[in-house]
Amino acid sequence: MRGANAALGAAGLAAFLALGEAVPRLGLVGEDHFPPTSRIAEALGAEVTDGAFWTALGDTLTGWALGLAIAVGAGIVVGVLVSVVPYLREATASTIEFLRPIPSVALIPLAVLLYGTELGSVLLLVVYAAFWQVLIQVLYGVQDVDPVAEETARSYGLGAWARIRYVLWPTALPYVMTGVRLAAAVALILAVTAELVIGAPGLGARIAVAQTSQAVPEMYALIVVTGLLGLLINVGARTVERRALAWHQSVRGEVAV
Amino acid sequence: MLDVRGLRKVYEGSGRRTEAVRDLTFTVAAGELVCLVGPSGCGKTTLLKCVGGLLEPTAGEVFLAGRKVDGPPPGMAFVFQEYGRSLFPWMRVGQNVELPLKQKDLSRSRRRELVADALASVGLADAAGAYPWQLSGGMQQRVAIARALAYEPEVLLMDEPFAAVDAQTRADLEDLVRRLWRERGITVLFVTHDIDEAVYLGERVIVLSASPTVVREQLKVDLPDERDQLTTRVAPRFAELRTHVYEQIQAAKRGAGPVRKDTPPPR
């Protein structure tokens, strides 16, 4: 079943690539704006041999990883604190609901004012977008603590810190993992956006350069690279999730009793 | 060992005021196995949580070995009815049993020893590496009992621990509790809604009234120490005792009759 699905998936992808080759060749769309698959592949091959491409890729990944790490760390710490300290959740709920929907791209002018085209601009946008994803999931996750589990921990004299470590954190972990996976995807989008719009060094800036210099196949090749990055990030996040949550019913599957 | 004096618990919330427990006074001697039985909804769980320091009583006091209980005391272990939620699914059986010991000042080797010993006493010596959800319901409740044993409590509180397992498993677990109680000399306070279970297990049965709860009767169970599922349950004395408790519970449900205390039924 799994093999059949993989074969179907590969066939679908091949058909898509063939369509991308045929449609411009047949003159159905302008080849200037929609180069055939083979020319994009050619451009991709040229990119891969270019040192500047790898520097740009490294810059994008640095902004992504650093921003994501800050957002995840801050999201978890703030989320647990807000949930554990009495009345803090009620006091912050409306502020969070106000700040959360602000689109991160709306902060681009502020980022430029503060950091220009430095890494700081990318980080500001990435952290702002990814932080809320993690925070909201942590807040939900902490609420999910089973009262019986909590009472069990209390009856055995576990202190506040031990209860956070052994009960609250494992309960919230599935939610945290979902938050991290969503945040990882959003962080990549914002990293590329920041580079594209502000001109901070990275794949986004390289896409902008390719566009202004009419290097259309190169532009597509770079877009393909960002797509592949997103795919890899999602697969990686899911693998980490499965490993960390082997005990969880969503992962462990049916068990014979 | 355990001294409950004038315990009262009133829940207040959303405009409703519910008096779950009105006035409970009883004692449990060291090494005694006492069963609390009452009509459903009579506040048995509330009472046990107050005794265990998990709930703050509205009035009255609980003393454990002379010390007032104002929070879960170190010498007390709790076995909950909902074993599936009381065991942590993210920890293996051995880790579940060991976790409470980490709060005590014990060496790692001593902790391992206690865990292995407790699991062996409940017949699950080779399950330490499994996750709780890989075990059957009865085995999970045994793990919860092992966790309580490893904690080496003076008093073991059990809140309808076998209400969610099938009848055969239940009989096995009842014998397990009797055996562990006799082997280890722990004081056990066992809450149940099952009259037969209360009479079969207990040295003494405390019958509670309907809510708001008071002690309706305390009954000494004069069955032999050696009990087993086959002979004890068909013994004439067992039938007399269970009939007596049953009548008391029925009367409690009707809310009728005077509250008698400490009167063993005539032979």
What residues of chain B, 14 to 43, have a C-beta less than 8 Å from chain A?
Answer: none
The one-character DSSP state at A165 is: I
Chain A touched by B196 (CB under 8 Å): no
Q: Hey, CA dihedral for B248, B253, B258, B259, is it positive or negative? A: positive
pLDDT of residue B213: 85
Name the least confident of A135-139, A184-188, A217-221, B225-229.
B225-229
Selecting from B85, B100, B133 the residue whose C-beta is nearest the C-beta of A255 gives: B133
pLDDT band for position B1 (cuts 50, 70, 90): confident
For chain A, the structural domain boundaries read: 52-213
**Chain A residue whose CA is closest to B82:** A148
Shortest distance, CA A157 to any CA of chain B (angstroms): 6
B141: chain A residues, CB-CB within 8 Å:
none
Across chain A, mean pLDDT equals 91
- Per-residue pLDDT of B12-44, as tens digits, reads 877 788 888 888 899 999 999 999 998 887 888
> Which one of A149, A154, A159 has the shortest CB-CB distance to B88?
A149
Find the CB nearest A148 among B85, B99, B134. B85
Nearest residue of chain B to residue A149 (CA atoms): B86
Does the distance separating the beta carbons of A149 and B78 come in below 8 Å? no
Whole-number pLDDT of residue B267:
60
Whole-angstrom distance, CA of residue B87 vs CA of residue A148:
9
Which residues 6+ apart lie within 8 Å of B117 measured at CB?
B150
pLDDT of residue A101 exceeding 80, the answer is yes
Query: What DSSP assignment string belongs to A192-238?
Result: HHHHHHH--SSHHHHHHHHHHTT-HHHHHHHHHHHHHHHHHHHHHHH
- Is A155 within 8 Å of B88 when comparing Cβ atoms? no
Which chain B residues are closer than 8 Å to A151 by Cβ?
49, 54, 78, 80
Q: B213-220 and B204-208 as β-strands: parallel, antiparallel, unpaired?
A: antiparallel
Predicted confidence (pLDDT) per residue in B168-202, tens digit = 899 999 999 999 999 998 999 999 989 999 999 99
Reply yes or no on whether the pLDDT at B256 is more than 80: no
Of the pLDDT bands very low, low, confident and very high (cuts 50, 70, 90), residue A257 is: very low
Provide the shortest C-alpha distance from residue A229 to chain B (in Å).
32
Smallest CA–CA distance, residue A175 to chain B, in Å, is 14
- Contact list in B for residue A252 (CB cut-off 8 A) is 131, 133
Distance (Å) from the C-alpha of residue A155 to the closest C-alpha of chain B? 5
Please tell me which of the candidates B103, B131, B136 has its beta carbon nearest to residue A157: B103
The predicted-structure confidence for B127-157, as pLDDT tens digits, reads as follows: 999 999 999 999 999 999 999 999 999 999 9
Beta carbons of A78 and A99 less than 8 angstroms apart:
no
Closest CA to A138 of A166, A175, A187, A87: A175
Q: How many CA atoms lie within 13 A of A3 on its CB side?
A: 0
Fold of B1-70+204-267: Rossmann fold (3.40.50)
Min Cα separation B124/chain A (Å): 15
Query: E strands within chain A?
Result: none
Domains of chain B, by residue range, sit at 1-70+204-267
CB contact under 8 A, A154 and B72: yes
Smallest CA-to-CA distance from A67 within A136, A135, A121, A138 is with A121
The rounded mean pLDDT for chain B is 89
More confident residue, B6 or B212: B6
Q: Which of B101, B105, B112, B108 is nearest to B77 (CA)?
A: B101
Q: How far is A1 from chain B (nearest CA, A)?
A: 27
Residues of A in contact with B78 (CB under 8 A): 151-152, 155-156
Per-residue confidence band for A1, with pLDDT thresholds at 50, 70 and 90:
low
In three-state form (DSSP H/G/I as H, E/B as E, the rest C), the secondary structure along chain B is CEEEEEEEEEEEECCEEEEEEEEEEEEECCCCEEEEECCCCCCHHHHHHHHCCCCCCCEEEEEECCEECCCCCCCEEEECCCHHHHCCCCCCHHHHHHHHHHHCCCCHHHHHHHHHHHHHHCCCCCCCCCCHHHCCHHHHHHHHHHHHHHCCCCEEEEECCCCCCCHHHHHHHHHHHHHHHHHHCCEEEEEECCHHHHHHHCCEEEEECCCCEEEEEEEECCCCCCCCCCHHHHCHHHHHHHHHHHHHHHHHHHCCCCCCCCCCCCC
Task: Note whether ipTM > 0.90 here.
Answer: no
Q: Measure B252 CA to nearest chain A CA, in Å.
A: 29
Q: How confident is the model at residue B264, as a pLDDT?
A: 59
Cβ within 8 Å, pair A157-B72:
yes
d(CA A150, CA A230): 38
| B interface test, pick of A148, A151, A155 with most B CB neighbours within 10 Å | A155
| Contacts with A170 from chain B: Cβ below 8 Å | 88, 90-91
**pLDDT higher than threshold 70 for residue A55:** yes
**Is pLDDT of A153 > 70?**
yes
From chain A, the residues in CB contact with B54 under 8 A are 151, 154-155
CA–CA distance, B2 with B151 (Å, rounded to integer): 18
| Res A255: pLDDT | 52
- Cβ atoms of B253 and B210 within 8 Å: the answer is yes
Is residue A256 scored above 50 in pLDDT?
Answer: no
Contact A44, A106 (CB under 8 A): no
pLDDT at B75: 87
Report the distance separating Cα A246 and Cα A31, nearest Å: 49
By Cβ distance, the residue of B72, B82, B131 closest to A155 is B72
**Would the CB atoms of B80 and A257 count as touching at under 8 Å?**
no
Distance CA B240, CA B205 (A): 14
End-to-end CA distance of chain A: 26
Distance (Å, whole) CA B76 – CA B51: 10
The proportion of chain A whose per-residue pLDDT surpasses 90, expressed as a percent, equals 81
Please check the confidence at residue B263 and state whether its pLDDT lies above 70. no
What is the pLDDT averaged over residues A61-78? 96
CB pairs under 8 A between A and B: 67
Interchain contact, A146 vs B85, CB within 8 Å: yes
Q: Is B195 on the interface with A (CB under 8 A)?
A: no
Q: Averaged over B82-104, what is the pLDDT?
A: 93
pLDDT value at residue A176: 94
Peptide bond before residue B212 is cis, with ω within 30 degrees of 0: yes
Return the CATH fold of A52-213.
MetI-like fold (1.10.3720)
Q: How far is B89 from chain A (nearest CA, A)?
A: 6
